[in-house]
Structure 1
Amino acid sequence: MKTCFTCIILLIFSAMSNAQGTDTLYLWPGTVPGETEAKHPPVQTANNSGNVTRLTDVTDPALVVFEPKGPSNGASVIICPGGGYNILAIDKEGYEVAEWFNQLGFTAFVLQYRVPDKREPALYDLQRAIRLIRSRASDWKLDPKRLGVIGFSAGGSLAARASTRFGERTYTPVDALDSLSARPDFALLIYPAYLDEGKDRSLTPELSLSEHTPPQFLFGTADDPYGNSSLVMAGGLRDQNLPVTLHFLSEGGHGYGMRKGNLAAETWPGLAEKWLRQLVLDNSQPLMPQ
């Protein structure tokens, strides 16, 4: 038993060694809302296919902080890795993306949200993360009104839910921090999944669009089995005259992150950078009322 425990700890350290984060922030100071298991470090799975580090069994949700090595632009982003709400592709759709945002001057936070099979608690974690960063924005010299989210696959679903359900009290407040806004100022959904769970593959009912829904950037491909999610989300935003940018390629599949060798993976970062510069970096005014 001791040997098994030692192996688990070594796997965790191996996963975390790939992250060049400057700090790890735990979201919940005491009892974790909606969690039945005791807090413990996440577990790295034995599956490293595709050269991907996968974490699961997250019971103590956290943010890994990535600060830019050069000048900061004052904006920040929370990165939600995908993994079907079962695991987190923590490097491919997390740490690697954070380093790219750092190059643009963003302070990035990789979210270790609860998995497996904890879709609703995962939303608590992202909402709490948004509030936590806002409460400590001065620590990193950040503008609390230029805080966005980006998600991949299931992480895209999570980011979409945070972008549409920010007005709900999804969990019982635990301290004064929970009085802050949980609304992201912008959202990027990269090959998102589970956004078309409504009737006849229409928009998932829980995604309640309103005039306060933040601007969205969506990217998907026609050969992605979850590709309809991008289309219905963009259509719903368009129908309500809400700000949305959609890019949809013919090929690319699913789960490519931003690694070289896949046209979609090599395309979306440049498009996203242009969108971010126009919307977030070249605009000193708040993106939308909180």
Structure 2
Amino acid sequence: MTVSPDSTHVGFVGVGIMGRSMAGHIQAAGYPLHVTTRSRDKAAPLIEAGATWHDDPASLAAACDVVITMVGYPADVEAVYFGVDGRPETGLLATLKPGAVAIDMTTSAPSLAQRIAAAAAERGAAALDAPVSGGDVGARNATLAIMVGGDAAAFETVRPLFDLMGQTVALLGPAGAGQHSKMVNQTVIAGTILGVAEGLAYGQRAGLDLEQVLGVIGGGAAGGFQLNVLGKRMVDGDFAPGFYVHHFIKDMGIAAGEAERLGLDLEVLALAKTLFERFAAEGGREDGTQGIYKMIAKA
């Protein structure tokens, strides 16, 4: 299969905060786009721009050469691929065409990615796990980092689509390697976001002009997305979700479980998970991850 706007129908399952922008880049490049999501209203801008709506993942997969999924939790991934309530005919694997490629861009469990790849291969298709990093900003600007696991030939086939959504794209190993790489990413972020929140809380208590502080340290060794983008949102009091707290807790749970299986005791990850769970219980579940600053600054 050669991927091109003239011959490739692309399906997108899940068009939330990030998925909507990612699907939009593919549509803007001229690919016939097919969409489904829990709430049709979220897909309205894509449908108005010409996307075809489907009522379920199975009917979408039957019409597409490449299917991309971007949903919330591993349980959602399981239902989308293998069907709801033990009914495999409702899942996209039941109708995935031979030669097609399914790409799960949800942050999910490596073991689930491996199951999906094996099931797709049984149908003469391929499946890649390709979680992303970069949040809502990266999705809007098509600058995501995309970490891919799976078959090398399938990766090269769909590389043009990845390049429409991301700036840094890499095949990191067999099925599951993309998800393992995302766990590395989330473990690094877990400690970093706490450091940003604590540092800015310190600056606030010390009476510093936090805008000035960010302008200086953001150009030094502390600089990076968590400080320069999310730190700025903390200072501005902007806690709207680019990446939900409850999704981050989910990711940290996966990372912690995988670390335990690998014989690692990741204490900073465990602390971050505990603090974010406390923040969620206090009402921050639907905030962006930068919302943790509110809890830390008032302590």
Measured against the shorter chain, the TM-score band is 0.3 to 0.5
Between structures 1 and 2, the one with greater helix share: 2
What TM-score does the superposition give when structure 2 sets the normalisation length? 0.32
Greater Rg, structure 1 or structure 2?
2
Higher normalized strand content (fraction of residues): 1
